[in-house]
A and B are shown apart, each in its own frame.
Chain A
Amino acid sequence: MERVWITNGSTSIAPVVNSLAAACDGEYVPTDIYVLSNPVIEDVTEAATSLMKTIVTAHGGEEPSISVESIDDETDFEAIFEYVQSAIEAGDAAGSAVAVDITPGRRFWSIISFQAGIKNGVDHLFYSHVQTEAYFGECYPAIPRTAINLIDFTEVV
C-alpha cells in the first residue's frame, strides 16, 4: 500500500525529519512525501528532503517521490490550507494511507495542518515531542528513545 507523508519546512532540519524517522521505525515508511516550504527556508528544505530519502531507503523503502510546494508569503493561510488539502486528496484518490506531521515549522502552519488532518480523517496526525532541550538539534536515532515520543493525535484526541 502507498503511504503519504505530509509535512512542512522549518529553519532547521531536525524537526522536519525526526518524526519521519520515528514513523519509519514504527514501520510507517512513506512512498510519497509532500513538503510545504517558502523562499526563506529553501536551503533547509533542500537538505531536509535529501535526508528524507536517506531515512526512507535506510528503512528498506524505495526512494520516495517528494513534492515541494513553496509559498511566497508564509502567512498566506489560504495557500497553506490548499496545500494540505490537496496533498490529502491526492493520497485519498490513490487509496493511500495518509499521515500529516505537524511537528516542524511555524505554529500556524501546524494548526492549519492539524485542522485539515482532523477534518479529512487522515490515518495519522504525528507530532514528535522531545522532552529536553539537551537534545534539540539532534536527529532521531541519536536521541535517547526515552527522551523522544512520537505522538499520533488520531489516537489521543
Chain B
Amino acid sequence: MRVRSDHLTVLLNRLADRGDEQFVIEHPSLDVGELLRIELDRYDSSTVRFVTKGDEYESSRQAVARAHGEAVSKELPSASDFLKTVVASGILDVANQDEIKTFLDRYGDPDLMAGHSPVFAGFDTNLMSWQIDRVLGLHDPDSGVGYVNGFVLATGVRDELDWDYKCHNTDPYVDAFGESYEEFWNQTLGSARLGRLGLLTYRRIRDIEQAVEVQSDRGDAAIIDAYDEYDRENRSDIVLFSNDRNFVEDARAHRMLGQRVDFPGEFPRKTTASWREIERLLYLLAIVFGVIEVPGATVYGVWRGKDELDWQHERVKVDARSPKLEAKLQSDLSIVESYEELSVR
C-alpha cells in the first residue's frame, strides 16, 4: 500500500499495538543490517539509538563493494549521507547550529517597517537534498514567520540536481541485497534518489513558498553570479548557505552574506525525537536507502511503478509481512484518507 510520509503514524501506532514499541530499522541486506533503533514513547520525546558507528557502516559498504562490485555498493548511501539524512529528519542538529543561529539573529528577521531591506535566502546544490530551509527553520510558510522574507533559487542548482539515472537490470542488486530489490526496476538508483530529494525541496520552495527563480548555468561561479545579480538589482539582502567553504568564500567575495552549514561527523549514542520526526526519518531513510525494514513490514522508498505524483506527495510503499498487520494498516489508512477528503470539502 502507498502511504504518505505524514501518515506513517499509522504504521508506528500498529507497531506499538503489536508490542513493538522498541524496534530496529534495518537494511534488507545482511551485510548492512541494523541502521538504528527506535523506542516509541511520548509523542514529543521518544528515543532514537544509533547502534551503528559511521566507520562500521562504511566498512560494511566496502565489504559489499568487494563482494558485489563498486557499482552495486554505490546503491548504499555513504556514511556521511546516512548522517545527513538523520539531520534532515530534524532529529539531529547541524554541527554548527550555534554559529548559524548567531548569523541568523544578526542578519535575519529584518524590521521592514523601519525601512530595512527584506532578506532572501539562497542555497548551494549540496544542501538541497537535506531540506535545509526546514532544518534551519528559515521560514514557516503557514505562519509567515521566520528569519527570512523569502527565497531566491538559481536554476543552476536545479539543473545540478537532475541526475536521474535508472535501474534497468535489478539482478546485481537482488544478488547483493535480496529479493526486495526486484522492485527497483526502472527506478532511480543510489545518489540519484538524493538528487530527487533535492529537486523536491527546490520545487517545494519555488511553488509553495513562492521563491524568486533566477536563471543561471550550472557551477558555483554561475550560480553565485546569478544570486549576486539579483542582489544588486533588487533592494534586498541575500544570505547564501552552502556545505562548501569555497562557495561561502566566493559569496563573500561578491559582498553577499555567506554561511557554511556543517554536518556532524558522527552519530551520538542516542537522542530524543518526536513521533513526527521519527515518521520523517522513516520516510527519508526509505528514500535514501531505497528500502528499509521494520518489524512486520518492508518500507520501499522506490518501487516498480512509483510515479511522479508518488514523489511529489512523498509516498512510500509499505508491504506488511503479516496479513493481520496488512489488514489493520489498510483499515487505518482508509479512515485517515476518508477523513482528509471529508475535512477539505
Number of interchain pairs (Cβ within 8 Å): 70
Complex Cα–Cα for A67 and B266 (A): 60
Asked whether A142 lies within 8 Å of B342 as measured between CB atoms, the reply is no
Bound complex: CA of A99 vs CA of B269, how far in Å?
Answer: 47
Residues in A neighbouring B7, C-beta threshold 8 A: 142
**Contact yes or no, A54 B334, CB < 8 A:** yes
Query: Does residue A109 face the partner (Cβ distance < 8 Å to B)?
Result: no
B12 within 8 A of A: yes
Residues of B with C-beta under 8 A to A137: 343
Contact between chains at B16 and A146 (CB < 8 Å): yes
A59 interfacial by beta-carbon distance below 8 Å: yes
Q: Does A131 lie at the interface of the complex (its beta carbon under 8 Å from any beta carbon of B)?
A: yes
Do A51 and B16 touch across chains, with their CB atoms under 8 A apart? no
Number of interface residues of B (CB under 8 A): 26
Inside 8 A of B275's CB, which chain A residues have their CB? 144, 147
Distance in angstroms from A47 CB to nearest chain B CB is: 4
Nearest to B15 among chain A residues (CB) is: A145
Contact of B334 among A43, A58, A143 (CB under 8 A): A58
| Segment at the A interface, from B38-46, B100-108, B176-184, B221-229 | B38-46
Task: Give chain B residues whose Cβ lies under 8 Å from the Cβ of A51.
Answer: 335, 338-339, 342
CB distance from B200 to the nearest CB of A (A): 22
A75: interface (CB < 8 Å): no
**Known A58-B334, A59-B331: A13·B43 in contact at CB below 8 Å:** no
Query: Which of chain B's residues has its CB closest to A59's CB?
Result: B331
- Neighbouring B residues of A156 by C-beta, 8 Å: none
Bound-state CA distance A39–B117 (Å) is 51
Which residues, 37 to 57 on A, are CB-close (under 8 Å) to B? 43, 47-48, 50-51, 54-55
Is B17 located at the chain interface by the 8 A CB criterion? yes
Cβ contacts under 8 Å, A14 to chain B? 339
A13 touches B335 (CB 8 A): no
Is B332 engaged at the interface, CB distance under 8 Å to the other chain?
A: yes
25 contacts between A and B (CB under 8 A): A13-B342, A13-B343, A25-B17, A50-B338, A51-B338, A51-B339, A51-B342, A54-B338, A55-B335, A58-B330, A58-B331, A58-B332, A58-B334, A132-B43, A135-B43, A139-B339, A141-B9, A141-B10, A141-B336, A142-B9, A142-B336, A145-B16, A145-B17, A146-B41, A147-B43
